[in-house]
Every structure is written in structure tokens, then in C-alpha cells.
Amino acid sequence: MEKALSLIKISYLRSRVYLAGHVINMFGSFIFGYIGVCVWRALLGDTPKADRMATYVIVSQALLWVTMFLPKSAYLFQKVRDGTLAFMFVRPMGMFLQSFYEVSGSAVYNFIYRSIPIFLLGLLFLGTGIPAPGMILPFFISIIPAYVISFCLNYFVGIWSVKFLNFTAAQNIYYFLANLLSGSLAPADYFPDSIKSIIAFSPFASTCYIPSKIFIGEMNPFVGIPVQSCWAVILVLLSLILTRSVKKSVQIQGG
């Protein structure tokens, strides 16, 4: 546990160095949220539903920083490039866990310095709402599987890049799916009826759609969180299997 904490801390501090730049970046991200809010207010007019959607969009935008915008390829491709990937195998901790703690550090940083400020800016300037008291705890709980799932998806991109030494294509395909299906601007409810429920139950929706819906009180946490947890377990198991196969190929190539 001590090792885990120190890995998280190092990666947190690494992010911390660029605080000034990140504040500017955070404002940029807030503008993206604001654009989404404008779109939904223009579509729904002056209705309670419009207020809820505004909140939904800002919460999603804030959550992107602990889901879709995690370090690309979970730092793995960077390590392939600078040749430090081999070091991950000589440590007494599995590659998956090491990556997980490393990425967790920047996720903690992102949550404190980007997610929370974006949400507060929304509260101050865009009149977004806060959850019903009963939904606060479920919302925070649902962030955890959302993060784990996102980590695994980024980790898959990393595994791909280690195996095929090409990162751009895998990253772009991941971005395409996550952007479209996670529901950060267009929730699953607005997709055509035939694919609506498939999308809502996809792992991508678990990273953004489910927590944001819980936040605005439009989803029963006793349905949402179990769905998320299932995906989290499945993806972690899949990650472990893939780690084993890639480890073999790296050892053969000699890192």
C-alpha cells in the first residue's frame, strides 16, 4: 500500500509542476462545457429539462478529466519510445498495477484542479444545479468504476501501441468511440430507439452517461452502479490477460 501511495504521489507531483498552464487549459475545457450548455438551452428553451441538461453537460465535462482525458495510452507508448518500458517488468509489482497507480496520481490531480473548478464555474456562471441530497453519495461512488473502466480503455490503447508500435490509430479509434458513445454532449436517450439501450449499457456510457445521469436524478443508482461494476470487473480481467500476452512479446523483442 505504501508503494502504491508513493507511485500515486509522484505522478500527482509530476502533474503539479504545470499548474499555471493547467489553469488556462481548464478554462478552455470549461468553454467546451459552456458550448454544450448553450446548445441544450437553445434546443430546450426555458424549461426545467433544459436546466437539468445544462447540469448534465457541465458534470460530464468535469468528469472527462478523470475518464476520457486520462494520460494517453496510460503512459505506455511514451515508455516504449524512451525505452523505459522494460523497467516495469523488473519491479516487484505487476505492470497493470504500476500503470494503474501512476495514472491514478494524475487522475487525482485532474479531479482537484480541473473537475472541481469546472463544476464550480458552472455553478457560478451557468446556473447549473447540485444533486438531491440522496444522490450525492451514489454519484461519488459511481465515479470510481467510471475511472477504472476509463483506465482500462486507455490501457488497451497502451497495450496495442506496445504490440504494434503504432499509437495514433488506436488512440483515434478509442477517441472516436468514447466521444460518440460516452454521452458527454449527446446522452444515450437521444440516439435512435433501436440502439439507445445498447449504447446506454456500453462500457463507454458507464464512464460518463451513468454518473452524470445519477447526478441529475434521472437514473436509479441501484441500476447504474451494478452495470458499471460489471464492466469494471470484466475490463480489469481482460487487461490482466492482455498484459500477460504482451509481456511475452516484449520479453522476446527484448523491450
Partner 1 sequence: MEIFKTLVKASLKSQAGYKFNFILDIFSSGIIFFSDFLIIAVILTNFKSLGGWTLHEVAILISIIDSGWAIYRTFGEGLERMQELLQTGRFDTLLIRPISTLKHLMIHAVQFRRLGILVQAIIVGSWGIINSGVFSLPFIILYIFLVILAGILILEINIVLAAVAFWTLKNDDLLVLTVYATKTAASYPLNIFNPFLKNILTFVIPLGTITYFPISFVLGKTDNITALLAPFLSVVLMIPVCSILWKTGLKKYTGTGS
Residues forming the site for partner 1 (CB under 8 A)? 18, 21-22, 24-25, 27-29, 31-32, 34-35, 38-39, 41-43, 166, 168-169, 172-173, 175-176, 179-180, 185-186, 190-192
**Identity at 31, one-letter amino acid code:** I
Residues composing the chain: 255
- Pick 177 or 240: Cβ nearer partner 1: 177
- Pick 189 or 244: Cβ nearer partner 1: 189
| CA distance readout (Å), 168 to 71, 85, 237 | 14, 19, 25
Q: How far is the CB of 232 from partner 1 (least distance, A)?
A: 24
Q: How far is the CB of 25 from partner 1 (least distance, A)?
A: 4
Q: How far is the CB of 77 from partner 1 (least distance, A)?
A: 14
- Pick 118 or 148: Cβ nearer partner 1: 118
3-state SS string for 154-208: HHHHHHHHHHHCCCHHHHHHHHHHHHHHCCCCCCHHHCCHHHHHHHHCCHHHHHC
Q: How far is the CB of 237 from partner 1 (least distance, A)?
A: 27
Q: How far is the CB of 83 from partner 1 (least distance, A)?
A: 19
- Pick 38 or 234: Cβ nearer partner 1: 38
- Pick 56 or 100: Cβ nearer partner 1: 56
* Burial (0-12, 13-18, 19+ Cβ within 10 Å), 193: exposed
- Pick 25 or 229: Cβ nearer partner 1: 25
Q: How far is the CB of 112 from partner 1 (least distance, A)?
A: 17
Which contacts of 110-116 are long-range, i.e. CB under 8 A and separated by 24 or more positions?
110/15, 110/65, 110/66, 110/69, 110/70, 111/65, 111/66, 113/15, 113/19, 113/22, 113/23, 113/26, 114/22, 114/25, 114/26, 114/29, 114/62, 114/65, 115/62, 115/63, 115/65, 115/66, 116/62
